Every structure is written in structure tokens, then in C-alpha cells.
Amino acid sequence: MPLLDRTSSLPLWAQLETALKARLDTGEFNERFPTDNELVEEYGVSRHTVREAIRHLNRTGILRRERGRGTVVNHAEFEQPLGALYSLFQSIEASGVEQRSRVLALDEVTEPVIAANLSLPAETPLMLLERLRFAGDEPLAIDRAWIPMTIAAPLMTTDFEHTALYDELERLCGVRPDAGWERIAPLLPKPAERELLHLGRNDAALFLERMSTANGQPIEWRTTTIRGDRYRFVSEFQAGAAPSMVAHRPD
């Protein structure tokens, strides 16, 4: 095991963070992450140095502290490429995991801010579909979608417990999103959302906002609060290619 360089201007905790990150990348700690005492003995550093390195790895989401288990590796179970139109329903089931939803709301509403996002008058009737999305037995995301009632009226009696919104939108309404844009930001969920998602007080999530279009017309506004420990997004790039700012969201 390479020793830390005590003559370097780089703090010992930063060197230890780099060393542990390299070992994590090789999968060395997939089964079990060392205790603080084990790292103190292995690297010959103080407990403070170990805890500072672990703290920074926690902040990046690579590790997390769990009551009764100590430090564990944070494995994301599902990942999706940025800049691709995809279905959360299909991507989860393609991995061999059952996808289902608990419908929290399926109502006709008026939401002036949402209507404005869709370039519609403030009083425009909208369908709100709010779902708690599950992957296997564990919750994955809280998903809210607004669609103008002029389009969505046939969907109001649909059972969305185990079906994809876009599939039903196409089947019953004759329209399906073909483009759009998305914003992704970190979020500390509200207490009610933490309870639904089985998250701790300090567990962060990803907050996604999406506007979908069909034939150039806005048809859907969506927000999703998704567990960062179970889902991640991957971006590909190549030299000389212009960066893409478009990232599309789950169905």
C-alpha cells in the first residue's frame, strides 16, 4: 500500500481521500468499507485525518454514514444517459427490477405558474398526475406531471399503478413527446418527501424539472424528486464536440 507523503504541501487528509478514491474505483471496497480505526492503523495517520477524508467522500456522494453500519459505499442501482429521451418505467424493468407506482393524485387543477411554463393562459385546466415511483420494494422518486386537459382528458380514468404515462398518452390521446429540455439540481427534500422516499434528514436527492414538446408545442411540465443513492445520470463527450445542454427525463 503506497504511503502518504508527509513532505508534500497537500494535506494528509486530501492524500488519503485520493488514495481511498482510487481503491474505491477498482471495486476493492464493494463488500465492506474499512472502519476508521482500520484506516488509522493502515495509513499511520490520526483519527481526525481519517474522518476529514471520509467527510469529503461523503460530501461527493461516494460514501455515506449509516446508523448501526458505519461508513458504506454508496452504489447507484440505476443510471441513465443525459441527452436521451428515455422511459424510467422501461429502464428499470430492463434491469430486471419490477417497476410500479403508487398514485398520489390524479386530478384536474389550475396552476398559473405551470400554465405559464407551458405558454398557456393562467386559468387553463391541467391534469396533474402525481406518483411515488418504486424500483423493486424501495421508493425511487416522487414524480409530478402536468398536461393540458385539452390533451389529457382521456387519461383521467387510467390506472397508472403499473403503466407508462407516455405509452398511455400515445394510445389514448394520439400524441407522444418528441423533444424537450431538463434541469437537474441537488435538493434536500421536505420532511413529507423524505418520509415517502425513505431518506434521512441529511440525505440529498436530485430535483429535475422538465418541459416536453410534441411537434414543437409544449405538452407537459414535470418535476421529479429522485433518490441520488439509487439513480445517477451519465454524460458522454468527445474532443472538439460542442457540449449539449439538453437532458431528457423519465416517462
pLDDT at 57: 81
Q: Which residue range(s) make up the domain with 45?
A: 12-73
Whichever domain contains 51, its CATH number is: 1.10.10.10
**Average pLDDT, stretch 20-45?**
87
Whichever domain contains 152, its CATH number is: 3.40.1410.10
For residue 177, CA distances in Å to 68, 166, 250 come to 45, 8, 11
For residue 233, give every residue at least 6 positions away whose Cβ sits within 8 Å of its Cβ, in sequence order, or none: 79, 80, 81, 82, 184, 247
> Last residue of a domain, which of 43, 73, 103?
73
pLDDT at 233: 64
Query: Does a structural domain hold residue 251?
Result: no
pLDDT at 102: 94
Answer whether 0.85 is exceeded by the pTM. Answer: no
Instruction: Judge if 88 and 25 occupy the same domain.
Output: no
> Last residue of a domain, which of 73, 99, 124?
73
More confident residue, 131 or 90: 131
Query: Does a structural domain hold residue 248?
Result: no
pLDDT at 250: 42
* 13 — pLDDT class (breaks 50, 70, 90): very high
pLDDT at 97: 66
Give me the number of domains the chain comprises: 2
Instruction: Judge if 89 and 31 occupy the same domain.
Output: no
Instruction: Judge if 65 and 87 occupy the same domain.
Output: no
Query: Does a structural domain hold residue 148?
Result: yes
Query: Does a structural domain hold residue 124?
Result: yes
Instruction: Judge if 178 and 128 occupy the same domain.
Output: yes
Query: Does a structural domain hold residue 4?
Result: no
- SS in 3 state form for the chain? CCCCCCCCCCCHHHHHHHHHHHHHHCCCCCCCCCCHHHHHHHHCCCHHHHHHHHHHHHHCCCEEEECCCEEEECCCCEEEECCCCCCHHHHHHHCCCCEEEEEEEEEEECCHHHHHHCCCCCCCCEEEEEEEEEECCEEEEEEEEEEEHHHHHHHCCCCCCCCCHHHHHHHHHCCCCCEEEEEEEEECCCHHHHHHHCCCCCCCEEEEEEEEEECCEEEEEEEEEEECCCEEEECCCCCCCCCCCCCCCCC
Query: Does a structural domain hold residue 5?
Result: no
**Average pLDDT, stretch 192-208?**
88
Query: Does a structural domain hold residue 240?
Result: no
Instruction: Judge if 60 and 90 occupy the same domain.
Output: no
pLDDT at 245: 44
Q: Measured between alpha carbons, how far is 14 from 57 in angstroms, rounded to an integer?
A: 10
**For 168-196, how does the pLDDT look when each residue is reduced to its tens digit (9 = 90+)?**
999 999 999 988 888 888 888 999 999 99
Closest CA to 249 of 217, 211, 213: 211
**For 89-102, how does the pLDDT look when each residue is reduced to its tens digit (9 = 90+)?**
666 665 566 778 99
